[in-house]
Structure 1
Amino acid sequence: MPEEEPRQKPMEEEEDDEELQPLPQQEQPPLLPKQDHHPEDQPPEEQAQTPPLPITLTAEEMRERRLRTLAARSIIQTPLAAATTAPSPEKASRKQTNVSGESRLVRETTHSDSESSTWPDLSSKNDMDVEMQTVVPIQDVEMAPAALSLPSEAATKRTVRPAIETPKASTVSPEREFSNKKFPASADGFGSSPKSVDEQNEQLLSRLLNCTWNEFGSGSIICAQTASFLEQHPSKRFDFDFIVSNVLMETALKIYNDELGESSACLVDDMEFSTPKKIKSDDTEVQEIMANAMASTSTVEEATTSSQSEATASSDASSCLAPSVLNIVTTTKHSVILYLMKCYENYQTECATKSSASQPALHLAFENIMRMTVLVLTDRIHQNLNWQLDQSALLELMYMEKVSESFLVDIVAHTHEDLEAFDTIFGQVLRGLFTGMQRNVCTAKINLLQIEWLAKLVVIRVGAVRPLADLVARQPNFIPPICTKISGREIVKCSFLGPFLSVSLFAEENVKFAETTKNKVEDAVASRLRWGLHEMRTHLHGIFHSLCVNASSRPKTLEYIGNILRRNDRRVQFASDEKLLARDGFVINLMSVLQHLSVKIKLDRIEPNYHYMKNCHVSIEQDTKIRYNEEEYKSFLGREFSESDKEVNFQTQCWFLTLQAHHLGYMPAIQRYRQKMRAIKELQKLIDELDRTKQHWVNSRYATRNNQFKERWEKQLRKLNRSKNCSEITLLDPALLQRCTEFYSTVCEFMLYQFEGRAIVGPFISKLPVQTLKATDAFSALPEWYIDDIAEFILFTMQHANVDIRQSIDHSIITWLLTCVCASHLIKNPYVTAKLVEVMFVFSLKPANSVNTAMWNHELAQNALVSALMRFYVDVETTGQSTEFYDKFTIRYHISHLFKSMWENPIHRQAVICESRVGNQFVKFVNMLMNDTTFLLDECLENLKRIHQTQQMLSDKQSLTKMTTDQQQSRLTQLATDERQCRSYLTLARETVDLFHYLTSDIKEPFMRAELVDRLSSMLNFNLKQLAGPKCNDLKVKNPAKYGWEPRSLLAQIFDIYLHLDCDRFAEALAADERSFDVHICNEAASRIKRLALRSAVEVERFKALTQRAHEIYVTNQQTEDECADAPDEFKDPLMDTLMSDPVLLPSGTVMDRAIITRHLLNSCTDPFNRQPLTEDMLVANLELKHRIEAWRKEQRGKRNNR
């Protein structure tokens, strides 16, 4: 090579000079044929006579082509590595080569499989290489540009002709050629001498980077500028840090500038390499270089093409619903990153196979690959003219599944300390995920792409730190500033994690999904959708777990969750506008995440007073407390928690946030579901009513209006049914219900410790009798919904869920339930206790199962439940609500059913009998039972009479025709109301009569007390008269089973109660009932009982004997009352105007008969004359008046006897 290089002219001038002045003889190239025909088709004589055409090449082009020749020869001489994917049959039949599939320059016959390891026979002359002094095959070549540009979309799939002609052309995928190709493991030629470590590392790096910069390289990408510099500085041949850095930079710039369509001169515009020298060679060498360069050029072109093709195909396959505008810079950046990732894959492969001697070189290559990746992703190599789009090329490749998780981990590890580069790269990725997730919230199917990638990113650890979790928490919108009055909705829409938590299948939140939902969702479809929800929530849990397990991002994450819950605390209000708050799907997703986070929390690690502290993330200040009112609660906080709050652990915060999420998430959702169910029921009832009465209005002036109503109601019904089905997919998910039950079990344990007012230590074991429990301040200040929500959840799942959750009800929940019922004096609101009683009622329903067996066998149920239920039966007489009169019947119905279930158990039956013998509680219970039975039976019989009259009228066509249409419609409406009330009252009445029936079978004495027996006998006599009296036919209705009306059964039960209470005292009480007792009616009832065979003849005779004794007493009483009619007023009771037998003095100074005032106190603990509080122990016996009354009666009997 010459010592001094002549001045190099510009490319245009050099070409012109070379065209005018012929080259020296040794540099004269052979003539090239035109590209529109093939030289092989001409005879040898014609080929020899073709005049030569001049070729003009710059020194840089000549050097580049020479290096391509060396690279191609190295690949031919080296056994190829196994492909990463199975080759096509056409590929398998030929030897792999770097020559372009479209080239027609290399003319070589196809070798068989057995000859695949031999050298190809090139039909060209051999010549001597000037510098390497080797014999190389020379052949005629065509001039072609070595372009690295990305082809258009239409060119990503094309038919390629193999370099070595085969009998049949094959279709080759450029994408497979580039992405799956493995570079040769060695570049050693046959018979080569052993190489030094530096030479081995040089070839290793060449294969790893797929680049060639000298004669010993094996890569397919030619780095001419690096080669030129190394020729000038031979001492840097093994300066691998410098070489790898420059090779990666040159390759990246090649891809960038070729994509933009710039000239090759631009490759060195900003580089510091010296001008390359001209290669000394003859014309034949240039031909050989150019021929082999075509192969290398095709390989790079196919690689770049395949990157774009594979990106497009992968994008279609992944169904990414977050498309971005892929400008030319972005697609080129994709190609650069794909190249770097391929180098990274080669690095991983080499690390697994190379010895320790190669490790420094591999580590150097890794560092440079990472550094170059950062430069590309931060746009420090090429300016991004579309930066305002904030589009992440890395995220696009992640969507296409081109980025391996190990590559991401290494990028994070390499950049996490450089906050500027780290935030630039991954901040753009996070913003892209946020934007893409916003588009995917409302879709017909659940899309997990963004959620999955975010979960994969935040889990990446570098030592003890999760850099991407920190970056997520540092996002400006992680906890966005509130700018509007609807903060609950705003934080959902604007926060970074808001879109990820908003994926929902509720119809109101995801209209696209609701439109695809049928009126009835099949179980298999529901299971598939629930699995999608489960998978989505699992990824969400992974995101929040990474944010919480990372110490630096944990506080902001807990603050974010607390902000969501505090700003949406109005969700539980009945009149709240759900459009201004977070939707059900969002909060339930958050609840599910917190459930997973809390599943391993030990209860003894929780600070039980956390919700009272000022730094608490949950707010219970506005909630109704178990016992305290607002003033008492504030006083308690000022007394106990006025000082600065102490720091609490993560377990405490997470557990209380989970509890609050259940209250604000699942509870409002099931309330709305019940509203939908009620609306569906009402609409269906209206439609059925129109259909039932159609014959009455079809020909009237209301026909058009009614048809319009029906059409509108049917449309609303279809919409509500679709919404109900969408809600059921989420709310009735068995996995979600299971987790809720497990969490509520821990809440029950927490509440049990609060009942006894002691610290939490392991599983709960009761240490105090439930009757002696006293409310502590901490317990009294607890929110009422801590108890109410558990009961509401159990009732909802037992009523609507397709799966039986009773298998998940553990001992803690049963103990909590019985404790709350038995210690109802600790709970201020009776409706809360009533809901707990309803839960017990649901558990007691047959068939027998593990839950009701465990409940009835529990120690509390056997020792304290009977007295507690009787006490509560009496207490619900007054609840403080305007609807208390009607509410008490439903509550007492549940208690009556529980007593029936307990009566079947010998242990509980004995407990009921023992309770009837002690105290005054049983007497009050029986008194309320009689009041309810009297009212319910009266209402039932009155409704039956009205139904009977209406049915008679409607069956009489003459009477019907005399009525106007409005009158007919009014009658029909009244009939529907009477039927509905009759069904309800009969259901309640049957239960109370049943309770009387089995209680009186074994218990008699309490019923014979003076304050009870008279009212009991009057009730029995009146109902017997209604059922067997002269007007009993008024109770006949059509289809009595529709209302649950069974007159024979009711008559038989009343008949049995007479026999159960058969005694002289009861006979006297029957006789004392002058209003309803009639021996003739009693005999008629006995005859009907005997005729219908409802009871045996012996029982009928006993009944007749009882009523006959009562009749005789009745006759005697009539004579006595006539004689006592003129008794002094001071001897008569002022309330009933009857002769007193045991006068007592009230605090007000009034004198009354003890039996009468005691009966009054059973219903109301007030003085009947001034409404002041009055109890039985405040009564004072008036013995002096009693003796005077007895003396007067004795005197009157003496006068009667003297007559």
Structure 2
Amino acid sequence: MATLHDIFQVTTDPNDSRGLPHVESDELEVALCNGDVDALLLFQLTENPDLNKPFAYLNGCFLRCQQQKRLLKGQTSAGSLQPLFEEIDRLVIGYGLVAFQIENFCLNGDFNAYIDQIVKEVDNYTAFLSQLIQRATVEGTLLDLLETFFTSLLQYLTKTLPYFDLNDSATYNAVITLFEMFVSFKPVAAIFSQVSRFFGNFDCKANEFEKTTILGPLLTLSPLNPNVALKNYGENLERTQQQKNIIHESLQAEHKMVIDRLLFLSSTRCCGASPESRTNLMTYFAQIVNKNHLRRGDHANQSKLASNAFMSNISLLLIKFSQPFLDVSYKKLDKIDVNYFNNLNLFIDLSEETRVNSDFKEADEFYDKNKKDEDCKPNFISDCFFLTLTYLHYGLGGTLLYDEKITPQIKRLRQEIDRIKNLSQSQDMFASFATMQLRQMEKSLKITQGIKDALQGFFSHKALQLEVFDFICGASTFLIRVIDPNHEYPVKPIKLPLIPDQVGVENVDNADYLREHAPIPFKYYPEFVVEGPINYSLFISQYNSSPIFRNPRLHSFVEFATVILRCPELVSNPHLKGKLVQLLSVGAMPLTDDSPGFMMDIFETDELVNQNLLYAFLDFYVIVEKTGSSSQFYDKFNSRYSISIILEQLYERIPLYRKQLVWQSKNNADFFVRFVARMLNDLTFLLDEGLSSLAEVHNLQIEVDNRARGLPPAREEDERELRSKLSSAERQAKSSCGLADKSMTLFEMYSKDIPNAFTTPEIVDRLASMLDHNLESLVGPKCGELKVNDPQQYSFNPKALLKSLTTVYINLADDKEFVSAVARDGRSFNKELFQRAVRILARKIGLVSDEFCHKLLAFAQSAEEQKIAEEEEDLNYGDAPEEFLDPLMYTIMKDPVTLPTSKVNIDRSTIKAHLLSDSTDPFNRMPLKLEQVVPNEELRQRILEFRRQKRPAV
């Protein structure tokens, strides 16, 4: 039986000319003579000690049998051999199944060895494995085969191989090919999720899923894998950005190919096989993210959590799953259930999730009362959408947070390495110790810098990031739909505001009212549905390849941002709104060629945006005063800086917004005055802080220079403490001056077109005092203290600041109340300061025109005359009773009112000005609203009578 000899590669004839292995066995000889295939195979598999690779042998027998069939096809002998070939196929495939079910069935049986052979020669095994799958399907043992095969494959990938990652393309391509081949059979795909290692154990830790579940190793195939990052980036820390970009492009192409193949496996095959397998895949992803909420924690231990590679890959896959129902047509948007969180069985664990605008107790009561029936289960589209939002926050969101944290780590490592190098050079006794330390720290730097570069490559992958942002745009539209009381958006436009504006009441002090009127069910949504899209969009905007730039769907996100900012009842977290305005400021800033920012066209042409954005910014500018955190005093400046950038661009480039601003100042005066008061508060503080810090920088720089020249110290600090103080003062000066510059720009613009808003009784005196004080700082006797080395690094341009200050004087010069307010400023007003300002601006630097100078000097003269007149009037009123004097301003009251709790009498303009900054009684700190004060008509009449008596007779 030459055919049997050839197929089974064995002979009992020592003189066989074909060079086949010679085996001395009576059983084998009988089997070959009788053509007993079963006995022959049993001998080979169970008794032949020289057969070291039994599964490879079976695969070879199968392939040789197929080859014999092809060679004999069409020959007369083919028909007679057909039954033999069928018997060989039946037995070889049957024993192949047995070999993968009973490890010790074969004499040298070893599942791990089988997998190793298959992975290394995958193309050689696919035909045989396909037959095993089909046979197992017929025999009803398919799940047993999958159980053994994929459990063994998982063990091989995680315990046998040193690494399984993108560095070994041959191995990972072979493994993916195996998965693809298996799930290409629909019966396999239908039950694949029933394999015991598909899910993690109940007590599986957050960082164990990628090592203990079947899909885990595949889902870690990413450039973000530390081994991949180190090999591709970390070996050479001196690479140029251009060289890094070449590596980026190579890894991006490879990663995209992997993601596409994983998508085919998980979406096309597993999800499409059966509803059960689709549900199980979602359950698996949910199981992972539910145990990884700490990825967004400030002090999370990364080693105890799932890796960035793993979580980011799942995020990308889910985003691809969501694409069909979030396309620009939005035809399937209504398939996403707005009441999704009312379902009994949710994939997502919400037990510790902060809500958009409700507390835990209120949310739980709502869901308990409105739970859907057990048989009313959410559809796949809803499950997929909300799970994707969860991964956007904890998956990609955790990765970008890690990126933000790793940057200062690299900086500290480099500084420490430099310090140790200098120490070892100067002190021989530490040289050997330092060398050991350096070696370890330089290794850490390689790894950390490699991961940082890998993160940069990942987030600059425009094709993948574009898909992420497309999802965010679709999600933005859906979230507006949830907010819409009728849930009809975008088919029908949403009308804003949703509730009447609380003019005269600070929204931050009206939290209970806003929470009570927040829309249902949006108020009970977990906060991450809003936070995830905002965090990602702000983070990705820093990349030149950002998908936000010139994106045709960007208007969807800007509309969502507008709705959130315009309706204070929607989101209670001011930090999220702060991030939104920061992102919108990026879109408003002019481009490098001074053309409008990339969002400006949307700001101008989108009706939902242009009808609501200005009010939203003005309102948030005011209410961001109180963020609820311990650092709220400084938090507000960052948000207001961003808003100032946007307001400046809107005012200068889009006439519609200028008209809206003027309208607000005239028709919504109380609202607008609050905004101006906040601007004034900030500018007063920032200029004072900035100029004080510059004076400190000036003094410290002189001290440092003197010591460098060998002069004796004039201060007590040692060298290290001195430089530390200088660095601190420089940081404070740069921050305060930079922030003040934007506020000053708004003052200069707005005081020109809407001067009346700056001369109201509650504003004008404080404004005059601020301007006079800073004019004195810039041109007064101590102005030399502001001279520092390289003032530009502190965003300090004293000439430009002086021009801006004096421009505000000129813009308001025709208003009698402003002139009087400047004249009343006994602390800083001095006519000579204006004369010095003119000399500097006109004669020294030629920054202003003659007309400008004449107006400024004329204003100073008017204020001087008013000052003299008021001083004479004060002499007449010098004996006024103390009860006639305002207790805070010490001036005679014009419109006295009585405060309801402290019973103190105070001028209406004074308490009104106080309430613009602080909604409490200044004498007992009890809550106070302006409408609660009581006019004191009797006291007002007595004051009027006193004034009449003191008026000189004509």
Scaled by the length of structure 1, what TM-score is found?
A: 0.69
- What corresponds to 1:204 in structure 2? none
- What corresponds to 1:4 in structure 2? none
Contact 1:377–1:393 (CA<8 Å) still a contact in 2? no
Residue aligned with 1:489, SS: coil
Residue aligned with 1:646, SS: coil
Taking the aligned partners of 1:1192 and 1:701, their CA distance within structure 2 comes to: 86
Contact 1:255–1:335 (CA<8 Å) still a contact in 2? no
Change (3 A) 1:1039 1:576: closer
Offset, 1:1076: 0.8
What is the Cα-based RMSD across aligned positions, in Å? 3.9
Aligned AA for 1:890? Answer: N
Aligned AA for 2:830? Answer: D
Taking the aligned partners of 1:572 and 1:776, their CA distance within structure 2 comes to: 27
Q: CA offsets per residue over residues 865-903 of structure 1, 9 Å max, x none?
A: 212211111111112111010111111101111110101
**Range 330-339 or range 493-502, more displaced:** 330-339
Q: Equivalent residues in 2 for 1:387-536 (5 A)?
A: 389-391=110-112, 393=114, 396-397=117-118, 399-403=120-124, 405=126, 408-420=129-141, 422=142, 425-438=145-158, 439=161, 440-441=163-164, 444-446=167-169, 447-461=171-185, 466-470=186-190, 472-483=192-203, 487-506=205-224, 508=226, 513=231, 517-519=235-237, 520=239, 522-536=244-258
- What corresponds to 1:864 in structure 2? 612
Q: Equivalent residues in 2 for 1:704-743 (5 A)?
A: 717-743=445-471
Matched, 1:910 2:659: yes
Q: CA offsets per residue over residues 1024-1072 of structure 1, 9 Å max, x none?
A: 1111111111111122222222111111111111111111332212111
Q: How many positions carry a matched residue from both structures?
A: 900
Matched, 1:807 2:550: yes
Q: CA offsets per residue over residues 1120-1156 of structure 1, 9 Å max, x none?
A: 1122111112211122222111112322332211111
- What corresponds to 2:272 in structure 1? 549
Contact 1:750–1:760 (CA<8 Å) still a contact in 2? no
Contact 1:690–1:706 (CA<8 Å) still a contact in 2? no
Taking the aligned partners of 1:1074 and 1:699, their CA distance within structure 2 comes to: 60
Contact 1:344–1:369 (CA<8 Å) still a contact in 2? no
Q: Pick the structure with more helix per residue.
A: 2
Matched, 1:921 2:675: no
Change (3 A) 1:968 1:479: closer
Contact 1:443–1:513 (CA<8 Å) still a contact in 2? no
Contact 1:603–1:760 (CA<8 Å) still a contact in 2? no
Aligned AA for 2:380? Answer: F
Scaled by the length of structure 2, what TM-score is found?
A: 0.86
Residue aligned with 1:807, SS: coil
Q: Equivalent residues in 2 for 1:604-619 (5 A)?
A: 604-619=334-349
Change (3 A) 1:706 1:637: same
Contact 1:1058–1:1103 (CA<8 Å) still a contact in 2? yes
Q: Equivalent residues in 2 for 1:1106-1125 (5 A)?
A: 1106-1125=859-878
Contact 1:1086–1:1100 (CA<8 Å) still a contact in 2? yes
Offset, 1:363: 8.6
Residue aligned with 1:805, SS: coil
Taking the aligned partners of 2:236 and 2:452, their CA distance within structure 1 comes to: 11
- What corresponds to 2:94 in structure 1? 375
Taking the aligned partners of 2:70 and 2:769, their CA distance within structure 1 comes to: 97
Contact 1:615–1:645 (CA<8 Å) still a contact in 2? no
Q: Equivalent residues in 2 for 1:944-959 (5 A)?
A: 944-957=694-707
2:755 is aligned, of 982, 993, 1004, to 1004
2:853 is aligned, of 1084, 1100, 1121, to 1100
Matched, 1:590 2:320: no
Change (3 A) 1:150 1:942: farther
- What corresponds to 1:1090 in structure 2? 842
Taking the aligned partners of 1:1173 and 1:1013, their CA distance within structure 2 comes to: 25
- What corresponds to 1:338 in structure 2? 60
Change (3 A) 1:951 1:460: closer
Aligned AA for 2:311? Answer: V
Contact 1:821–1:868 (CA<8 Å) still a contact in 2? yes
Q: CA offsets per residue over residues 669-700 of structure 1, 9 Å max, x none?
A: 11111011123345567789999xx99x9989
Offset, 1:346: 5.7
Change (3 A) 1:1011 1:1123: same
Aligned AA for 1:1077? Answer: F
Offset, 1:712: 8.6
Change (3 A) 1:394 1:1086: closer
1:669 is aligned, of 382, 385, 399, to 399
Taking the aligned partners of 1:426 and 1:387, their CA distance within structure 2 comes to: 21
Offset, 1:1115: 0.7
Matched, 1:144 2:15: yes
Q: CA offsets per residue over residues 418-474 of structure 1, 9 Å max, x none?
A: 134x4565544323322332224357445414532333233333xxxx232355333
Taking the aligned partners of 1:825 and 1:255, their CA distance within structure 2 comes to: 78
Taking the aligned partners of 2:850 and 2:534, their CA distance within structure 1 comes to: 50
Residue aligned with 1:522, SS: helix
Contact 1:436–1:450 (CA<8 Å) still a contact in 2? no
Residue aligned with 1:1038, SS: coil
Matched, 1:1132 2:885: yes
Residue aligned with 1:417, SS: helix
Change (3 A) 1:1172 1:962: closer
Aligned AA for 1:373? Answer: V
Residue aligned with 2:897, SS: strand
Offset, 1:647: 2.1
Taking the aligned partners of 1:699 and 1:667, their CA distance within structure 2 comes to: 45
Change (3 A) 1:532 1:1185: same
Q: Equivalent residues in 2 for 1:849-998 (5 A)?
A: 850-904=598-652, 905-919=654-668, 920-957=670-707, 960-962=711-713, 967-998=718-749
Taking the aligned partners of 1:148 and 1:336, their CA distance within structure 2 comes to: 19
Residue aligned with 1:415, SS: helix
Contact 1:409–1:460 (CA<8 Å) still a contact in 2? no
Residue aligned with 2:542, SS: helix
Offset, 1:387: 6.1
Offset, 1:402: 4.6
Contact 2:469–2:547 (CA<8 Å) still a contact in 1? no
- What corresponds to 2:534 in structure 1? 791
Residue aligned with 2:533, SS: helix
Change (3 A) 1:1007 1:151: farther
Aligned AA for 2:832? Answer: H
Aligned AA for 1:1153? Answer: D
Taking the aligned partners of 1:382 and 1:641, their CA distance within structure 2 comes to: 50
Contact 1:392–1:429 (CA<8 Å) still a contact in 2? no
Matched, 1:1184 2:905: no
Contact 2:762–2:909 (CA<8 Å) still a contact in 1? yes
Taking the aligned partners of 2:366 and 2:71, their CA distance within structure 1 comes to: 68
Taking the aligned partners of 2:67 and 2:438, their CA distance within structure 1 comes to: 68
2:784 is aligned, of 1010, 1033, 1041, to 1033
Aligned AA for 1:956? Answer: N
Contact 2:65–2:89 (CA<8 Å) still a contact in 1? no
Contact 1:670–1:796 (CA<8 Å) still a contact in 2? yes
Aligned AA for 1:877? Answer: E
1:646 is aligned, of 371, 376, 390, to 376
Identity %: 25
Offset, 1:974: 0.9
Contact 1:1014–1:1070 (CA<8 Å) still a contact in 2? yes
- What corresponds to 1:768 in structure 2? 495
- What corresponds to 1:1017 in structure 2? 768
Taking the aligned partners of 1:383 and 1:1085, their CA distance within structure 2 comes to: 98
Contact 1:1133–1:1139 (CA<8 Å) still a contact in 2? yes
Change (3 A) 1:1086 1:493: same
Contact 2:587–2:598 (CA<8 Å) still a contact in 1? no
- What corresponds to 2:505 in structure 1? none
CA radius of gyration, larger in:
1
Contact 1:149–1:255 (CA<8 Å) still a contact in 2? no
Aligned AA for 1:807? Answer: R
